Amino acid sequence: MKGHVKELLTELGEDPNREGLLKTPERVSKALHFLTKGYQEDPLAILRAATFREDYQQMVIVRDIDFYSLCEHHMLPFFGKVHVGYIPNKYITGLSKIPRIVEVFARRLQVQERLTTQIKDCIQQALSPLGVIVVIEAQHMCMQMR
């Protein structure tokens, strides 16, 4: 990836050998691997590892989950808050697992609509709740910067 970044810098009209850019290819490579680490994680396994039988049928809500993702169309950031609610049907999960699955899906090239659906589908598949709701509020740099 570093070679491609160096080539990209040249295509942009920059000198990849100038002092400020010498380590840029390595930094960009590390950053992109971190920002897309969700491809190496299994969100369903995360939820299933902390699933507990519980006779509870009131809505469980986890609000204001921070997320950061990259738009798949421009590879520019979009970020904001995720709110997740579900009504258990004999099974619950640890509350900390909800932000974890949000991060796994967000750390992939995304669109907001798919991110919303993937979170919902994962909870539905892992817990078979009576209902699930996912709301995402986001700022898209691909819209705001361009």
Which domains are present in the chain? 2-35 (no CATH), 40-144 (3.30.1130.10)
Check if the beta carbon of residue 126 is closer than 8 Å to that of residue 93. Answer: yes
Whole-model pTM over 0.75 = yes
Catalytic residue among 14, 41, 83, 112: 112
Q: Is 112 among the residues known to form the active site?
A: yes
pLDDT digits (tens, 9 = 90+) for 29-61: 999 999 999 999 999 999 999 999 999 999 999
8 pLDDT exceeds 90? yes
Catalytic residue among 14, 19, 73, 83: 73
Catalytic residue among 72, 125, 139, 144: 72
146 pLDDT exceeds 90? no
* Residue 108, number of CB atoms within 10 A of its CB: 19
- Rounded Cα distance, 107 and 42, in Å: 12
Q: What amino acid occupies position 69?
A: S
| CA atoms 104, 109, 114, 116: torsion sign | positive
pLDDT digits (tens, 9 = 90+) for 77-111: 999 999 999 999 999 999 999 999 999 999 999 99
Give the pairing of strands 51-53 and 91-93: antiparallel
Percent pLDDT > 70 in the chain is 100
Catalytic residue among 4, 74, 113, 118: 74
pLDDT of 69:
98
Catalytic residue among 14, 41, 83, 142: 142
Check if the beta carbon of residue 121 is closer than 8 Å to that of residue 134. Answer: no
135 pLDDT exceeds 90? yes
Q: Is 72 among the residues known to form the active site?
A: yes
Strand ranges inside the chain, DSSP E: 51-53, 60-71, 77-87, 91-93, 109-110, 131-140
Catalytic residue among 71, 103, 118, 122: 71
Q: Is 71 among the residues known to form the active site?
A: yes
